[in-house]
Structure 1
Amino acid sequence: MTRALVGDIGGTNARFALWQDNALASVQVLATADYPSPEQAITAYLASLDLAPGAIDAVCLACAGPVGGDLFRFTNNHWQLSRRAFCETLQVRELLLINDFSAMALGMTRLTPEDCLQVCPGEAEVERPRVIIGPGTGLGVGTLLPLASGHWQALPGEGGHVDLPIGTAHEAALWLQLEQQLGHVRAEDVLSGSGLVNLHRALCALEGQAPRWHEPADVTAAALAGDAQGLAVLEQFCRWLGRVAGNNVLTLGGRGGVYLVGGVLPRVAPLLLASGFAEAFRDKGCMSDYLAGIPVWLVTAEYPGLLGAGVALQQARS
């Protein structure tokens, strides 16, 4: 029986698991700073399971950035990888590198009802595209397409770098403050961990106040504690997320539904569910009715990127 390994590699942590019987097993999270290369991290992971290089036949790694050619440099940590050297070192016959948000999108195909919270009700059209959007270190945006073969195709893109949309006079005033701070204002400049701080600064500037927080965790902690200023930041954050998600649905015909992922939202789930996200999501003028019946879910699954790497490997082998 063949044994495969899947990985989801971020800037701070690398998540590894065995892919057995089309499911994850033996998940571990390793700090990328503790290892000079992915080969050494994987060797340490295997050793913890009493496995040596050569014990796995195939590897699929989800990585941030374009994944063509032999040499891959990770965009968010110090690692780099030569496909040839990697396979020789770990005695692997098959190595598949995929974009991290493509893996995230494919992971949506393995979710259970317990892995999601409903943000907007509706009926998904199963043959239509699904939109995946996730504020984390940056803003990831992806599309998932069902294929006639029963497989899935994930379309990577750079949707986090679209212009930040403006839907109200208040948002226009905030945009002017952001433009003064940042120059060109992308969706990611607000809809990310650092974006929470940018948004807090813009709100303070608009109100003539000094910023109180300089770390994303401080903003979310204040909001969860009921601080009025923190709540205002999270409310506007959720509204802008709704606008960007709605724009993607209109562009892609994403009537298969929207999945909200990433590291930020699960921490503030109660605020998201009580926010104006749904109102902003549907606020599209003459096209508002188009958005009204499209479901939106907040994904709470712990390792969707790893699941997606497993799905990608499974599809590549079938």
Structure 2
Amino acid sequence: MTDQQHSLPPQIAQPASFADGPRLLADIGGTNARFALETAPGRIELIDVLPCKDYPTLSAALRAYLASPNVVAAGIAGIRHAAVAIANPITGDLVRMTNHHWEFSVEAMRIECGFDTLLAVNDFTALACSLPHLSELQKVQVGGGVARKGSPIGLLGAGTGLGVSGLVPAGEGWTALLSEGGHVTFSPANETEVKILQFAWREYEHVSAERLLSGDGLELMYRALAHITGLPDEGLTAPDISRGALAGDCPLCTQVIDTFCGMLGTVAGNLAVTLGAQGGIYIGGGIVPRLGERFAQSPFRTRFEQKGRFVNYLAQVPTYVITAEYPAFLGVSAILSEKLSG
């Protein structure tokens, strides 16, 4: 399966194309803008990833995708319906990105691009909506626990920022939470984390969970732990830190990743008890899925359950890492389909 086509297996009959043509799907983060076309229910094709920094506006990136050789060669034109999942609160027509300089009016962009329908939703709301559609091959369980049907589900993921959402049962379906839980105040759980917080306070008046559980957070933690331990600070970037830990040749990088995973376990446990998420906690974002087995061996699950009198409660809640390559497309597709069928 390539980046250009995520479709049903050949032995399964292909679904009929949409009567009103392909639908544009987008997943916009602070670093990359991912685009795809859904040509029929469940058939997501022509996936492309564009660096946000290369385009002055979202509409410029969107138009560049539609004008790309693969899309043009497919003979696709006249897109009528589109939906954009974006790493940002959506509180009205005007969207200003938190982790990038893009801002836009949803209605103005709809008119500019000639769409009949343009939806903008929070990226973790879209990712939450994808969870019921994930196959067993698109997630990996970390630790024990068994999901209880009909119970709330929690979601968080670290990347450019820290996204948080969840699903609450609503009749025969689900309601996705419009959460900005990544911006809650960071709460240390041991002496090392207290020292990291004190180091972060030198730069920031308010230290949120996102301030540490993100790509920038890995770099901040690296600087903090170098200062605390006296190990040399080589100015590594977040990808360098992850690579150093995975290779096992950088003790400071290993400590950063272990500390990161422990902190994430605490936040995930907080989310589980807040939501009563006995349907499980799912971990997405750009950092954790790349850690692979290293994450399963980290302090994450121990810290997840480390809630005093609630340790037995949390031991029964399963935690999963989302391994699907482009899961937000599944969610934003479901949201658009519901809108168009309403």
TM over 0.5: yes
235, 249, 267: which one aligns with 1:213? 235
Give me the whole-angstrom Cα distance separating, in 2, the residues matched to 1:200 and 1:246: 24
Match of residue 5, structure 1, among 19, 24, 30: 24
Deviation of 1:251 after TM superposition, in Å, equals 0.9
Amino acid at match of 1:22: P
CA contact (8 A) 2:24 2:36 kept: yes
User: Could you list the per-position Cα deviations for residues 276-312 of structure 1 after superposition, in whole angstroms to 9, with x for gaps in the alignment?
Assistant: 1111000000111110011111111111122211111
Residue of 273, 289, 295 corresponding to 1:266: 289
Higher mean Cα deviation, 258-267 or 153-162? 153-162
Evaluate the alpha carbon distance shift between residue 39 and residue 233 of structure 1 in structure 2; reply closer, same or farther with a 3 A threshold: closer
What is the alpha-carbon root mean square deviation over aligned residues? 2.1
Q: Structure 1 residue 302 and structure 2 residue 322: aligned?
A: no
* 1:46-72 alpha-carbon deviations (Å, 9 max, x no partner): 334237896222111112223344333
Confirm or deny that 1:25 pairs with 2:37. no
* Paired positions, count: 317
Is the 1:120–1:294 contact (alpha carbons within 8 Å) kept by the matching residues of 2? no
Indicate if the aligned counterparts of 2:99 and 2:161 stay in contact, CA closer than 8 A.
Answer: no
- For the residues of structure 2 that align with 1:54 and 1:89, how far apart are their CA atoms? 15
Please give the residue correspondences for 1:195-214 in structure 2 after superposition, counting only pairs within 5 Å.
195-214=217-236
Kept in 2, the 8 Å contact 1:53–1:90? The answer is no
In structure 2, what residue type is equivalent to 1:184?
Answer: H
Question: Which residue of 2 is the match for residue 184 of structure 1?
Answer: 206
Which residue pairs with 2:158 in the alignment?
Answer: 135
Q: How has the CA–CA distance of structure 1 residues 277 and 86 changed in structure 2, closer, same or farther, with 3 Å as cutoff?
A: same
Matched ranges for 1:1-318 at <5 A? 1-3=19-21, 4-23=23-42, 24-48=44-68, 49-50=71-72, 55-150=78-173, 152-226=174-248, 227-318=250-341
CA deviations on 1:97-117 (whole Å, 9 max, x unpaired) are 111111121122221111112
Cα distance, 1:53–1:80 mapped onto 2, change above 3 Å: farther
Bigger shift: residues 203-212 or 92-101: 203-212
Q: Helix, strand or coil for the counterpart of 2:292?
A: helix
* Distance in structure 2 (CA, Å) of the matches to 1:186 and 1:101: 18
CA distance in 1 between counterparts of 2:223 and 2:52 reads 31
Distance 1:296 1:57, change over 3 A: same
Within 1, Cα distance between the matches of 2:308 and 2:118? 47
Q: Report the alpha carbon displacement of residue 181 of structure 1 after superposing the two structures with TM.
A: 4.5
CA distance in 1, matches of 2:156, 2:30: 19
* Distance in 2 between residues matched to 1:52 and 1:72, nearest whole Å: 31
- Is the Cα contact below 8 Å between 2:29 and 2:160 reproduced in 1? no
Give a deviation string over 1:67-122, Cα, whole Å, max 9, x none: 34433333433433333333333322111111111112112222111111211222
TM-score by length of 1: 0.91
User: How high is the sequence identity, in percent, across the aligned residues?
Assistant: 39
CA distance in 2 between counterparts of 1:241 and 1:217 reads: 18
Q: Secondary structure of 1:156's partner?
A: coil
Give the 3 Å change call, closer, same or farther, for CA 110–20 of structure 1 in structure 2: farther
Q: Where in structure 1 do 4 or more consecutive aligned residues deviate above 4 Å?
A: 51-54
**Does the C-alpha gap of structure 1 residues 37 and 212 become closer, same or farther in structure 2, counting only changes over 3 Å?**
closer
5+ residue gaps, structure 1, are none
Cα drift, residue 265 of structure 1: 0.9
TM-score, normalization: structure 2? 0.85
State the Cα deviation string for residues 233-254 of structure 1 (Å, max 9, x = none): 1111111110110011111111
Q: 1:118 to 1:189 in 2, by over 3 A?
A: same
Give the stretch that moved more between structures: 41-50 or 92-101: 41-50
Q: Alignment partner of 2:313: what SS?
A: helix
Deviates most, 131-140 or 170-179: 170-179
Aligned partner letter, 2:304: F
Amino acid at match of 1:106: C
Query: Is the 2:165–2:179 Cα contact (8 Å) retained in structure 1?
Result: yes
Higher RCO (Cα < 8 Å, 6 or more apart): 1
Question: Aligned in 2, Cα 1:125/1:223: closer, same or farther, shift over 3 Å?
Answer: same
CA 1:52–1:85: 2 relative to 1, 3 Å: farther
